[in-house]
Amino acid sequence: MVEVIFITSNESKYREARKIGEKYGVNVGWIQLEYLEPQGNDLREIAKLSAEMLTKKMDSPFFIEDSGLFIKALNGFPGPYSSYVFKTIGNEGIIKLMDGIEDRTAFFMAIIAYWDGNKIKLFEGKVEGKIANEIRGTGGFGYDPIFEYEGRTFAEMGDEKNEYSHRRRALESFFKWLSER
């Protein structure tokens, strides 16, 4: 069985990755660690720089993942600032910002950065959906209660979120690549 370590402070992310790993024969281990994320406008660059900093602490392979919610009518906001925006204005704030806006198109993007001991490789996953008109559902975490995919929010889906999510898509390409090496 392929084994790989996921470094994240977010237990929900780890649980999702662990479940998805089971489908691909990958055993996902966990190091619960909060690391400094550089700010910037590019999710790929942020993930790469974060992984690079962690290589100084880690002597075996690992991966990290960085996500963002990109709202079309807000020119991609909060995007790479999703974490800060969630902590400050949260889902209520986003719903208010979107008040009266007709085009509610948004996507989630996940970038995985994998350190193989020598170099960093990036994998990407994206899911298109909409900002809901109101907060709905009790599952998931973060923006899940306002991100609607085919009529339901991610927070209304339970584990089914793992079939469609940006994280699932990024992990899928990563795990496929990992198991075919």
Q: Collapse the DSSP code of 84 into the 3-class scheme (helix H, G, I; strand E, B; otherwise coil) and give the result.
A: helix
Residue closer to ligand IMP (CB basis): 37 or 116: 37
Residue closer to ligand IMP (CB basis): 105 or 179: 105
The distance of closest approach from Cβ of residue 81 to ligand IMP in the complex, given in angstroms and rounded to an integer, is 9
Radius of gyration of the chain (CA): 16
Residue closer to ligand IMP (CB basis): 88 or 179: 88
The distance of closest approach from Cβ of residue 1 to ligand IMP in the complex, given in angstroms and rounded to an integer, is 26
Q: In the structure encoding, which two tokens stand for residue 42, read together?
A: 């590019």
Is 66 noted as a catalytic residue in this protein?
yes
Is the distance from CB of 112 to CB of 174 less than 8 angstroms?
yes
The distance of closest approach from Cβ of residue 108 to ligand IMP in the complex, given in angstroms and rounded to an integer, is 6
Which DSSP symbol is given to 129? E
Is the distance from CB of 137 to CB of 145 less than 8 angstroms?
yes
Q: In the structure encoding, which two tokens stand for residue 163, read together?
A: 């079939």
Residue closer to ligand IMP (CB basis): 55 or 83: 83
The distance of closest approach from Cβ of residue 162 to ligand IMP in the complex, given in angstroms and rounded to an integer, is 10
Given 42, 59, 66, 144, which residue is catalytic? 66
Rounded CA separation 103/71 (Å): 9
Region of residue 36 (phi > 0: left; psi between -120 and 50: alpha; otherwise: beta): beta
By beta carbon distance, the residue nearest ligand IMP is 142
**E strand segments, the chain:** 2-7, 26-31, 62-71, 78-79, 105-115, 120-131, 147-149, 152-153
Q: Which residues bind ligand IMP (CB under 6 A)?
A: 10, 66-69, 82-83, 86, 140-144, 154, 165, 167
Catalytic (active-site) positions: 66
